[in-house]
Structure 1
Amino acid sequence: MHDGRRSRKTGCADFCHFDTRKKCEAAVLRHELTVLHLVPEELGGSNETQNKIFVPLWVAEQKRRIDLVTVLPMMRAGKLSRYEAIPVFRGSSFVPAEIAIHAQDPAGFSTTIDIW
Structure 2
Amino acid sequence: MARAWRGLVGALLLLGALVPASLARMQEMEQPSDRPDFSGITSKAAANRLVREGRLVKIHIFPKELGGPNDPRNFVYIPPAVEEARQLVIGTLRRFTEEDLIDKLDVQAEYKGTSIIPSRIHYTATHSRGGPPFEAVVEVW
Which of the five TM-score ranges fits, normalised by the shorter chain? 0.7 to 0.9
Question: Quick check: 1:88 aligned with 2:113?
Answer: no
**Percent of aligned pairs sharing the same letter:** 22
TM-score (norm 1): 0.84
**Structure 1 Cα separation of the partners of residues 65 and 44 of structure 2:** 26
Q: Indicate yes or no: 2:86 matched with 1:63.
A: yes
Aligned to 1:63, what secondary structure does the other structure show? helix
Match of 2:135 among 103, 110, 113: 110
State yes or no: 1:99 paired with 2:127.
Answer: no
> Which amino acid is 1:53 matched to?
V
Q: Which has the larger radius of gyration?
A: 2
Written as runs of structure 1 = structure 2, the 5 A alignment for 1:30-49 is 30-49=53-72
Runs of 4+ in 1 over 2 A off after TM superposition: 10-13
Report SS of the residue matched to 1:36. Answer: strand
Deviation at 1:72, TM superposition (A): 0.6
Normalised by the length of structure 2, the TM-score is 0.70
User: Whose strand fraction is larger, Structure 1's or Structure 2's?
Assistant: 1
Bigger relative contact order, structure 1 or 2 (CA pairs below 8 A, ≥6 apart): 2
AA aligned to 1:65 is L
Please list every run of 5 or more consecutive structure 1 residues that lacks an aligned counterpart in the other structure. 1-9
Deviation at 1:84, TM superposition (A): 2.0
Residue in structure 1 matching 2:41, options 10, 18, 23: 18
